[in-house]
Structure 1
């Protein structure tokens, strides 16, 4: 009886756990804000250049608006999502749910939704202020650039976030470049097949979320069973053949098979929801469904295999996969998904009646 009372009183409440998590992750949020500001600026500059080169003209006011919107959105979104992730992980542990199974998909989904909502809202406000308050956008840019070094200093002083700040730049910037390649492919393809635009977020979102779950689980397993730089006994080599990755007695092989089994039902639900809402320009004929699902399966198979190789290779190179793997994998998911979707639409166009409705 006494032991139960002591246990009950010694266990922190959910509110206390949230407060502890908030305190423990303040420096992480500073690191995220610093990286978000830098990457947001790079993304805005890339968008300005890509819009300027084809048209041959540059509007300074619109360029400043784009940069300011990107910087403010990146900073605000990283702050909001940091708080959401704290809550998700603490609630998951409180409900005895493995955070690896829910945290990354929620972060990815809410990340897109939150970022797009904030970007559209902030850009609208700044656009309305172009004529009346032309100083607003440059001021916001200067403020964001001024606070970025402060966030970096705070994060660098903390031993838990110092490594993230030092090693987290390459994955994030590389992921941005890889995703941009997928964006170029989409931009080229959507000019010919308008229906691809509504399926691209679906195939990329599903693939990215599934591989993020696998990446989190493998990384957590490595942290539990070994130390950085040395593979555990059950993972003696980095480059396994695909059959071993998907069909072995290893726990992560079973997880990979479960994730693969979720691809077809998930895409069918999303596809027929799109068709029911009449949101696309493509008819869901049997041949379209078969080709689309094949492309989706190929994407996830490739991502799960790359995930296995990448995370174990990073581990042998003393690189923490928690800090580096998921940006690469989700960006590769965007690139592979968009590329395979473009190939699928081109194939459907060739075997069909060669009109814009490739499903017809």
Structure 2
């Protein structure tokens, strides 16, 4: 049809939402939520740093495998919810109260189903990853992990889902592009809420350990699933996702669990106890930046009117790093802005951790150099992958809002945890030893 040729595309009316954004305006809108999210991950790091010494974390070390998988859940569910609702808000699908309520109810029900199922699967992954190296299976630990994982995922998703919806509606009212604001806010509160809930549920289940409480908790949450399924099926926009939205969420959970295995093996070594405080920070910052970029590219594609599954008038080849970062398009501009935030952001967060006496790590120039190199490399890889993946999914007819962010944030967890473990090992190897390991 003539809609696909170049001339008619150029004459289509300009989309009504974001105006031409300059690097400065992108930076200005992104920097405050970015810092807020960063301080949220610093707080989460401090929590992990304290709880890693609790009895339950030392006795059931598989809980560490759950940490990236459950923290990654907010990347899977809340950030995709934020990205979906931001796009819906930008293209006017939430303008009337009735439409808005339908979107809200359907999406909340959908993430409750996903959270329950993924929480359950994450606990199974943690049990398997914990069981393979040790070679013996403990039923008590498995039930404890299952109950705390499902409860944490369910409660955290409900709280964060409600906060997200509030943020998106508020940012529409004051005329801010919700893409720039919603995902980092989901991130800032997400890690802290999830980690605190996990530590609380694990230790209370462990303290009052009896044979009935944990399986009962698990059963109650699982029994509520059919109710959420019924609600989500009644809304057209979430009905489809109820069937098709599983693959990215589950694969992302598996990728994050591998990061969890690295964390478990590293943190339980007394020489690397300092790693706990930095893991949520490096993973969180990388995940936030790439989620903003993926969310922006996705909205850009939705608003420029190219049908999904239809490659651009000139089919897009795999982007080179040059076009991703040095091109003239608004997406290259935002990639540059986001990349430039990495080093200053991390220096602020390292200084904050240091001044709060967090971690068991003395910040030496060598450690800071390694850490910044790891963080920059992680974000460089992620932003490049986002540019490629969002366009690739679009060309395949998959909505990048639902599919790209889980993969990207999970890869962020894996790269972040892996590079960070490498930093600690290299630092140990060259003799930049910790003087404060025991504090």
Asked if Structure 1 and Structure 2 have the same fold, meaning a TM-score greater than 0.5 normalized by the shorter chain, the answer is: yes
Q: How is 1:336-355 mapped onto 2 (pairs within 5 angstroms)?
A: 336-351=415-430, 353=431, 355=433
Partner of residue 224, structure 1:
303
Shift in Å at residue 88 of structure 1?
0.6
CA distance in 2, matches of 1:236, 1:136: 57
* 1:60–1:85 CA distance, 2 compared to 1 (3 A): same
Q: CA RMSD in A?
A: 2.4
TM-score (norm 1): 0.87
CA distance in 1, matches of 2:96, 2:359: 44
CA distance in 2, matches of 1:309, 1:125: 44
Pairing partner for 1:71 from 126, 150, 157:
150
Unpaired runs of at least 5, structure 1? 1-15
Query: Considering only CA atoms, is the larger Rg found in Structure 1 or Structure 2?
Result: 1
Q: Given that residues 238 and 309 in structure 1 are in contact (C-alpha distance below 8 angstroms), is that contact kept between their aligned partners in structure 2?
A: no
Confirm whether residue 157 of structure 1 aligns to residue 234 of structure 2: yes
- Aligned-partner SS, 1:229: coil
Shift in Å at residue 130 of structure 1?
2.9
* 1:18–1:127 CA distance, 2 compared to 1 (3 A): farther
CA distance in 1, matches of 2:219, 2:167: 33
Shift in Å at residue 197 of structure 1?
2.2
Q: Given that residues 22 and 86 in structure 1 are in contact (C-alpha distance below 8 angstroms), is that contact kept between their aligned partners in structure 2?
A: no
Deviations 1:92-135 (CA, angstroms, capped at 9, x unpaired): 1112111111111111222222222222333344344434xx43
TM-score (norm 2): 0.72
Pairing partner for 1:207 from 266, 278, 286:
286
Partner of residue 177, structure 1:
254
Partner of residue 53, structure 2:
none
* 1:136–1:283 CA distance, 2 compared to 1 (3 A): closer
Deviations 1:210-269 (CA, angstroms, capped at 9, x unpaired): 000001000001111122112445x84141110111001100101000001100110000
* 1:96–1:238 CA distance, 2 compared to 1 (3 A): farther
CA distance in 2, matches of 1:142, 1:343: 40
Shift in Å at residue 338 of structure 1?
1.4
Deviates more, 1:310-319 or 1:152-161: 152-161
Deviates more, 1:171-180 or 1:269-278: 269-278
CA distance in 2, matches of 1:299, 1:291: 12
Shift in Å at residue 63 of structure 1?
3.0
Unpaired runs of at least 5, structure 2? 1-94
CA distance in 2, matches of 1:182, 1:20: 39
Shift in Å at residue 292 of structure 1?
1.5
Q: Given that residues 171 and 178 in structure 2 are in contact (C-alpha distance below 8 angstroms), is that contact kept between their aligned partners in structure 1?
A: yes
CA distance in 2, matches of 1:200, 1:128: 27
Shift in Å at residue 62 of structure 1?
4.1
* 1:124–1:194 CA distance, 2 compared to 1 (3 A): closer
**Higher RCO, Cα 8 Å, sep 6+:** 2
Deviations 1:151-188 (CA, angstroms, capped at 9, x unpaired): 22332332110221122111111111111111222233
Shift in Å at residue 59 of structure 1?
4.4
Partner of residue 8, structure 1:
none
Partner of residue 144, structure 1:
221
